[in-house]
A and B are shown apart, each in its own frame.
Chain A
């Protein structure tokens, strides 16, 4: 995910340049992918009864990743003046939700006691919100502002 993260850490030394911010965004994206991959792997290896705590912990990790990625997307998108670029930010969020849903769809019945169905519903909601923002921004990007509609800005 290539988000514009300058609002997160302006003035901080650890990410004061564009390359540093891109590196952080890429690292976060990899961590997110790892959380989903770990859940998928656990779904083939862990027993819902014997490994309940372990699986619940993985569910919490994916939930945290989805919620945090949404927050990053919202933060970056609202600071982006170009609606087309904002749409692309939401597209990446949609894709991440989709990857989580693909895994959760197979696991939510088997691991119903570990929070999987609840996470599935939450990710569905988040995907819906990201999708709505993606299409709205895409539509906005194709629209011309008619002259005389808004007051002149200095």
Chain B
């Protein structure tokens, strides 16, 4: 059974949230970065499902797992606020995705 820290680690979740923000929130859906991020997101989801989820949660299909990951990533990314405020893109790009706003000294 999974422990309280979850089957998916914080680092993996952070990486998934970063890919998710890059493709789902891409300003240009036809850009190479957007398509690359989507490919990497799906590849990581598939890898995690095979290596970590399926051995302990056999009833969760890849499709269900992908939906759960997307939901979780959406919650994380939405708490970060805009990643590209346009006013100063250099500042926006300097702010990394965090899965724990409290650790960064922000309000949840």
Task: Tell me, yes or no, whether A74 is within 8 Å of chain B by CB.
Answer: yes
Contact between A71 and B30, CB atoms less than 8 A apart: no
A98, chain B: closest CB distance, angstroms:
16
Residue with the highest number of chain B CB atoms closer than 10 Å, among A77, A78, A133, A143: A78
Contact between A149 and B85, CB atoms less than 8 A apart: no
CA distance A152 to B99 in the complex (A): 10
Give the number of residue pairs across the A-B interface with Cβ within 8 Å. 107
List the A residue with the shortest CB-CB distance to B67. Answer: A143
List the B residue with the shortest CB-CB distance to A12. Answer: B87
Contact between B72 and A150, CB atoms less than 8 A apart: yes
CA distance A145 to B27 in the complex (A): 28
Known contacts A126-B29, A146-B57; is A153 also within 8 Å of B99 by CB? yes
Known contacts A80-B78, A148-B2; is A139 also within 8 Å of B67 by CB? yes
Contact among A125, A140, A151 with B71 in the assembled complex (CB-CB below 8 Å): A140
Contact among A78, A79, A129, A145 with B68 in the assembled complex (CB-CB below 8 Å): A145
Contact between A145 and B71, CB atoms less than 8 A apart: yes
A contact residues around B13 at 8 Å (CB): 150-151
Contact between A152 and B5, CB atoms less than 8 A apart: yes
Known contacts A153-B99, A154-B100; is A145 also within 8 Å of B72 by CB? yes
A-B contact pairs, 22 of them (CB 8 A): A7-B81, A7-B82, A8-B82, A8-B86, A75-B25, A75-B82, A77-B24, A79-B82, A81-B74, A83-B70, A129-B29, A140-B71, A140-B74, A143-B68, A144-B68, A149-B65, A150-B72, A151-B10, A151-B13, A153-B100, A154-B103, A154-B108
